[in-house]
Structure 1
């Protein structure tokens, strides 16, 4: 059986105030073509289908179009809910969907598999929706569920009980933060990297393959436990990470092979660092005019209207940051210390500017303006 593992579509998410709907529709169209070209039998979407618990109407339309397109390839589709989804809203129409599309959002059904069959026999798919301990502990009285680790461990116990009752190969689907994740690959906004939210890898022992969601970059935790990541870049921190999905093959004995399939990137993300004039240079513009741009300018002083100037050259500049490149260590002095040596008004203004600008006083032109303003004030006082 051939499975395509994807996750974290986040339908409805914006990128620095810009809609991602068209870009996501393009990428999901490419994913559908990959399903057709590779004769995929089952598509798994491991949670965070939507970006919000209350998605807008257009998000439902995009999801419906994507599910219908995948179904028309001949593949079966299995969807679980993530922490961004409302399980009730995502799953309300599960019983009304056409045969071959399964939306699994009920924690009480974790141990009941979706059974699909190929020439080698049955494959049992166990969908674990995102489990918030405080919400789901009501379903399992007498079980101590205070953390994600405890809750996922109990869910996987239910899966293993289901495996004992339903012979055949097995695939588990979950949405969580597993131990062993590389923290540089694009963590979800809400992921807490330490303490109680980390699920030990041993929790996932048993199934032939475990399809995880929640992390936005591809990740191989073990040969059979993986994250596919998001199909789009949703932050500049993800810009160097590939987008795609895992193509998983099961044979009669279990996991046979796993291959990565790249997805297209509708618009690249790039971070440009340097003096603002360097970032605005013709050479940089020629290379990155059509990219999403994060500009980190290193001028000693904050520049006037940097975003306006950048967008005149980079129409898709989404973010600008000022990070001065200090060439020498500035001795820390309090504002009171700086004022003690200031006698004249220009000296006091210079002390203030040095204090708020990391030791940088007025430029030559700023000094001229300061003197002009002070001279005008003196003349005005003389006329009173």
Structure 2
């Protein structure tokens, strides 16, 4: 039996206000061809189906269209919720979609056995189990009796994640003995390489989970949350498939992929590279270099390549800011679009920093970064700073969850 592992679709994502909707449509078309070509029977999507907890009507429509395209391939589809997803929103059509052999686990159910999905072969015999665990929220993992200090809370989260996976493995072993099992998860594993488009989870990623604690029962662990494709050090093959399209300029060099498993040959997945549907370009240098690099671009067809520009100069010069703005405003090359530009000066005159902050885009500011700068200015000891950051992360998580209600 062949299984395909993907994650972090982030339907509805905008990159500097530029919609990535056409990119996702092209990915789904490619994915359908990949599933057909490789005779895939099960598709796993390990969380962050949507980019926002309350996605737009256009994003929801794109989601259901994608599911219908995939369903026509007679392939079982299993999706789990991620930290960006609203469990309530994902679960709403759960019963209807199950009739189409599409299984949705938006949030951790009270009964863990509801996460166990048997996969049957042509003879109606259970051949494989999928332990479809979604993103585990703080409320799923901690109890009031587990301590209130910063380190206590971190340890409680780590133990909660471990316990959930171990208990799920126990259910599989008891109810379906000797049946191979794949676990799905959406979390931050210790040592994983991140990018700028991932939202911190579980006290700002401080509760990094040691993947060796997954145990050795599962045959394969299909992870989501980290957008860069990578393997995790664990007792069993454990992989982040990565996102199917670049979601930030920090991901522009990623080799986006899906992972193909064939149970007849083993549990090491085959990486299938996804073609690039558009290029993300970052152009840096002084004004002369920027002008030259933009001039060298040739007209191209297909989805427009998105460009991020950074002017780098030694000394502050307000005229350079004006010239940069003019360069961007007058740029017109078919198949390219500048979506962000900024400037930096090695030697700033007094007050120039304030002038530059006025040009900083609101979307570049992250609440956690702003609060961290505020904390750094306070005359507090290191432990107090940790406590403040921990409390802020919990409040931030509650804000995200309230938006999903």
With the shorter chain as reference, the TM-score category is 0.7 to 0.9
Counterparts of 2:183 and 2:293 in 1: how far apart (Å)? 51
Q: 1:313 to 1:74 in 2, by over 3 A?
A: same
Task: Give 2:350's aligned residue.
Answer: 355
| Counterpart pick for 1:230 among 243, 254, 269 | 243
Q: CA deviation at 1:192?
A: 7.2
| Counterpart pick for 1:263 among 274, 277, 288 | 274
Does structure 1 conserve the Cα–Cα contact (< 8 Å) formed by 2:166 and 2:214?
no
Q: CA deviation at 1:106?
A: 4.3
Task: Give 2:112's aligned residue.
Answer: 110
Does structure 2 conserve the Cα–Cα contact (< 8 Å) formed by 1:247 and 1:258?
yes
Q: 1:143 to 1:246 in 2, by over 3 A?
A: farther
Aligned: 1:6 with 2:20: no
* Count of paired positions: 327
- Superposed CA RMSD in Å reads 2.8
Does structure 2 conserve the Cα–Cα contact (< 8 Å) formed by 1:280 and 1:313?
no
Q: 1:110 to 1:142 in 2, by over 3 A?
A: farther
| Counterpart pick for 2:161 among 117, 141, 152 | 152
What is the TM-score of this pair, normalised by structure 1? 0.77
What is the TM-score of this pair, normalised by structure 2? 0.73
- Which protein has greater RCO, CA pairs closer than 8 Å, 6+ apart? 2
Q: 1:134 to 1:309 in 2, by over 3 A?
A: same
Does structure 2 conserve the Cα–Cα contact (< 8 Å) formed by 1:110 and 1:127?
no
Counterparts of 2:338 and 2:102 in 1: how far apart (Å)? 39
Q: 1:148 to 1:245 in 2, by over 3 A?
A: farther
Counterparts of 1:282 and 1:235 in 2: how far apart (Å)? 21
Task: Give 2:297's aligned residue.
Answer: 286
Q: CA deviation at 1:171?
A: 0.5
| Counterpart pick for 1:304 among 318, 322, 329 | 322
Partner deviation per Cα, 1:219-250 (whole Å, 9 max, x = no partner): 11146100011111111111111112111121
Counterparts of 1:312 and 1:42 in 2: how far apart (Å)? 49
Q: Which runs of 5 or more residues in structure 2 are unaligned?
A: 354-405
| Counterpart pick for 1:245 among 238, 253, 258 | 258
Q: CA deviation at 1:109?
A: 3.9
